[in-house]
Amino acid sequence: MKRITELPIFERPREKLLEKGAAALSDLELLAVLLGSGTKKHDVMAVAGRILKVLDAGNEKLSLGELRKIEGVGPAKAALIAAAMEFARRRIKPEGLKISFPADVLPLISHLADRKQEHFLCISLNGANEVIASRVISVGLVNKTQVHPREVFADPITDRATAIIIAHNHPAGGLTPSKEDIEVTRQLKAAGETLGIRLTDHIIFNQKDYYSFLEHGDI
């Protein structure tokens, strides 16, 4: 990862935001803007990357203490990130978003399209096909070992969800489902039928497009 001083002016997060708007920035760049600067030992992009790695692992309710354990994060930066996350939780919630078509899910997951590892998500839905919650279940290759029904359905059961949508990114760029993707889908669909929670779709996505098992008649 390049240090911020190594980036051309127009590629630096703050300047890019001012020129193109916040929506044009990656999660890493947005975090860098929030942090403002790094420390003498830690470049702001490196610090932002460490925070993002922890968040991507599914720990989206970091306490101040947990934030301060991240290398390069002191009291001021920990307080800033904690405040930003709490504000987002209060104001920008996915709950209530109605999923009528597979593409309706993309606003909840597209921010993970640029990740270098596969991120597997589960979206809980109520009886009206409205989003209850969206969560990262695992980070790494999608297979039966890491994506076990126990891990996938634990929160939807607590949510009292009637259905779920699963999704994961393909860092390599291609959207064709692998044998593992197909097997995981089959396994989770069977588990959902036993639990009374329908698996309505599995979406594979990258930075340009998506593949829906439902749209292709694979589920």
Asked if 85 and 126 sit in the same domain, the reply is no
What is the C-alpha end-to-end distance of the chain, expressed in Å?
39
- HSE-up of residue 8 (Cα within 13 Å, Cβ side): 3
Asked if 119 and 66 sit in the same domain, the reply is no
Q: What is the pLDDT of residue 23?
A: 86
Q: Which of 40, 67, 91 is the last residue of a domain?
A: 91
How many domains does the chain fold into?
2
Buried b (16+ CB within 10 A) or exposed e, 201-219: bbbbbbeeebbbbeeeeeb
Asked if 20 and 67 sit in the same domain, the reply is yes
Q: What is the CATH number of the domain that holds 161?
A: 3.40.140.10
Asked if 82 and 133 sit in the same domain, the reply is no
Q: Which of 39, 68, 91 is the last residue of a domain?
A: 91
Asked if 204 and 131 sit in the same domain, the reply is yes
* Residue 217 resides in a domain: no
Instruction: Work out the pLDDT band at 7, boundaries 50, 70, 90.
Output: confident
Asked if 119 and 79 sit in the same domain, the reply is no
Asked if 149 and 205 sit in the same domain, the reply is yes
* Residue 96 resides in a domain: no
Over the stretch 168-181, which tens digit does the pLDDT of each residue have? 999 887 899 999 99
